[in-house]
Amino acid sequence: MSFKLFSGTAHPQLAKQVSDSLHVPLAKAEVVRFGNSEVKVTIQEDVKNQACFVIQATSNPTDTNLMELLFFCDALKREEAKKIIAIIPYFGYAKQNIQHRKGECVSVNVVIRFLESIGFNKVYAIDIHDEATGGVFDIPFRNLSAFPLLAEEIKRYFKAKKIIAIIPYFGYAKQNIQHRKGECVSVNVVIRFLESIGFNKVYAIDIHDEATGGVFDIPFRNLSAFPLLAEEIKRYFINKKIIDVISPDKIALVSPDQGAVEKVRKFGNIFFNKINLVGANRGSPILFPIIVIEKKRDQNIAHKASPLGIYGDVKGKIVLIVDDMVVSGSTMIPAIDLCLNRGAKAVYTCAVHHDFTSSAPEKLQNSKLEKFFTTNTIALKKEQIFPKLIEFSISSLISGELK
């Protein structure tokens, strides 16, 4: 089909792109703006018996661009164009398509009547605000959608780029087991969501259960802040002269339950610079004991567990309770009291994450705890800061991984 392609002044770059894509040169026209804001359009080539397309968005300044489009149509009619078709990438006034209050005009209907009465034979729009507006036209109207194009381009962008999530505190990680019939396993839902949205890889810091990494279908890496904590706490104890030498004879590492034993072992390997092995199968390592607190968890109450007993000797020692997270303190505080009742000299606690409830900071401050060592995987609110809390930064852990 032979046709002429005109560009209004609203978006000449788009018109040029269409022209290049079709290998059709832009037809010549002159648009003059006068000092009093009036506009005049002049067609500068023969269009007689030709189909003519005019690309003109009616975006801000809406009225000026709309009048220019109408004047294009009038000028083309006067030059005896066979068909005049408007391509309106952005259809101004399309949101004013309903009378919300008595006395209001319905502006888009007025614009449509203008386009029809001035002589357009067909109108195209791109994703008009309400597709039902197409039913107002008495001339052919077609609404093209840019969403498929956007979807493909974004998909291509994501494939071309690597999008990596670094999640210092992985929410829902403790909801990784179905404890009762009917419960969801929330962490699995979060993982599927991260995968479906387009992440190529995920990092976490001390995710609650390392086995959760096996749920991912994309690469997952669990970084540990325990080595960093071990070194910082060791430095704190020496600098503050709390103890003269870091030794299992003077410091007892305590696991708040059976599930945290492996975390405590990793912490202890750095803290004591020794390896906790069963048997002397790697030279002569000096073993450090891991004291374990037995607790009973109430499945009907969130964050509620009670210590039943303690396995190991803490008498006369400084105790350091090691865990991956503290939420309410309702498990940690009874464990502190239990250790002191068994003869511990003083009790310190260490946790990578502090996902505090509103009452936890006050409870920990008022407890018999000496200090609470933690990291900044979660931003502390002003009201969550308390004197016994000492926070270390994990920035070096993350930056070291990304180098």
pLDDT digits (tens, 9 = 90+) for 249-300: 999 999 998 888 989 998 998 898 754 444 444 444 457 899 999 876 555 5
In which element (H, E) is residue 100 found?
none
Tell me the average pLDDT across 308-322.
Answer: 93
Least confident of 8-22, 241-255, 275-289, 301-315: 275-289
Residue 138 three-state SS: coil
Helices (H), 272-394: 332-341, 360-366
- pLDDT value at position 391? 97
Paired with 6 in beta bridges are 54
Quick one: which of 57, 52, 28 has its CA closest to 41?
28
Question: How far is the C-alpha of 109 from the C-alpha of 114, rounded, in Å?
Answer: 9
- Strands (E) across 146-211 are located at 164-167, 201-205
At residue 160 the predicted structure's pLDDT band, cuts being 50, 70 and 90, is low
Angle between helices 261-271 and 226-239 (to 10 degrees): 50
**Per-residue DSSP letter, 26:** B
Class of domain 162-223 (CATH, top level): alpha beta
In which element (H, E) is residue 13 found?
helix 12-22
Residue 265 three-state SS: helix
| Residues ≥6 apart with Cβ < 8 Å to 197 | none
Q: What is the pLDDT of residues 120-150, one digit of tens each?
A: 999 999 999 999 999 999 999 999 999 999 9
Average pLDDT over all residues of the chain: 91
Spatial contact of 164 and 202, defined as CB atoms under 8 Å apart: yes
- pLDDT value at position 283? 43
**Cα–Cα distances in Å, from 181 out to 172, 174, 187, 275, 390?**
18, 17, 17, 41, 40
Tell me the average pLDDT across 373-394.
Answer: 96
Tokens of 230: 């071990």
Quick one: what percent of the chain has pLDDT higher than 90?
81
Quick one: which of 165, 164, 166, 210 has its CA closest to 187?
210
Show me where the domains of the chain are located: 3-149, 162-223, 226-402
Question: How far is the C-alpha of 251 from the C-alpha of 237, rounded, in Å?
Answer: 11
First CA to last CA distance, the chain: 58
Question: How far is the C-alpha of 375 from the C-alpha of 393, rounded, in Å?
Answer: 6
Tokens of 107: 């502006």
Candidates 3.40.50.2020, 3.40.50.620, 3.30.70.250, 3.40.50.10420; correct CATH number of 3-149? 3.40.50.2020
Quick one: which of 28, 39, 90, 33 has its CA closest to 68?
39
Quick one: which of 367, 393, 368, 369 has its CA closest to 379?
393
Sheet containing strand 389-392, edge to edge, reads 305-311, 290-297, 251-255, 318-326, 346-354, 372-375, 389-392
Do 3-149 and 162-223 show the same overall fold? Answer: yes
- Rg over CA atoms, the chain: 35
Quick one: which of 292, 211, 297, 221 has its CA closest to 257?
292
**Cα–Cα distances in Å, from 184 out to 78, 190, 191, 222?**
70, 11, 13, 23
- pLDDT value at position 304? 53
Residue 9 three-state SS: coil
- pLDDT value at position 1? 59
10 Å CB burial of residue 178 (0-12, 13-18, 19+) is exposed
- pLDDT value at position 403? 77
Least confident of 87-91, 149-153, 339-343: 149-153
Tokens of 402: 């990304």
At residue 162 the predicted structure's pLDDT band, cuts being 50, 70 and 90, is confident
Q: What is the pLDDT of residues 337-378, one digit of tens each?
A: 999 999 999 999 999 999 999 999 999 999 999 999 999 999
Spatial contact of 65 and 93, defined as CB atoms under 8 Å apart: no
- Strands (E) across 67-152 are located at 83-88, 122-126, 141-144
- pLDDT value at position 279? 42
Answer yes or no: CATH 3.40.50.2020 is held by domain 226-402.
yes
Quick one: which of 26, 17, 20, 91 has its CA closest to 54?
26
Strands 220-223 and 201-205: parallel
**Cα–Cα distances in Å, from 286 out to 263, 269, 273, 294?**
19, 11, 10, 25
Give per-residue burial for 191-216: e unless 16+ CB within 10 Å, then b: beebeeeebeebbbbbbbbeebeebb
Q: What is the pLDDT of residues 101-121, one digit of tens each?
A: 999 999 999 999 999 999 999
Quick one: what percent of the chain has pLDDT higher than 70?
93
Tokens of 296: 């009973």
